[in-house]
Amino acid sequence: MPTNNKKNLILRVPINCVPVCKMYTTKSKQLAPFIQLFKLITRSSRTTQNAKYTNEGHRKYIYEYASQQTSPGLCFDDQFALRPTGSTAAAIIALSHTVRAMLSSDLHVHILSFDFAKAFDTVRHESLMNKMAQLQLPDNIYNWIKNYFDERYHCTRYAGKCSAVAEVKASVIQGSGLGPASYIVTAADLHPVTPGNRIFKFADDTYLVVPAVNSSSRMNEIAHIEAWSRKNNLKLNRAKSKEMIIRSREKCNLSAQLPPPCTDIERVSTMKVLGVIINDQLRATDHVNSLLSSCSSLLFALRVLRSRGIPTVSLQDVFRSTVLAKITYCTPAWSGTCTAADRAKLDAFLNRFKRLGYCDKSVAAISDIFSNADDSLFESINTNSC
Work out the number of other CB atoms within 10 angstroms of the CB of residue 253: 10
User: Which pLDDT value is given to residue 15?
Assistant: 35
Q: How far apart are the first and last CA of the chain?
A: 35
**Residues in the chain with pLDDT values less than 70:** 1-71, 83-86, 251-256, 384-386
DSSP 282: -
Checking 85-89 for CB contacts under 8 A at 24+ apart, the result is: 85/380, 85/381, 85/384, 85/386, 86/202, 86/386, 87/377, 87/380, 87/386, 88/202, 88/274, 88/275, 88/276, 88/330, 88/333, 89/330, 89/331, 89/332, 89/333, 89/377, 89/386
DSSP 116: B
User: Which pLDDT value is given to residue 46?
Assistant: 43
Mean pLDDT of the chain: 81
User: Which pLDDT value is given to residue 301?
Assistant: 86
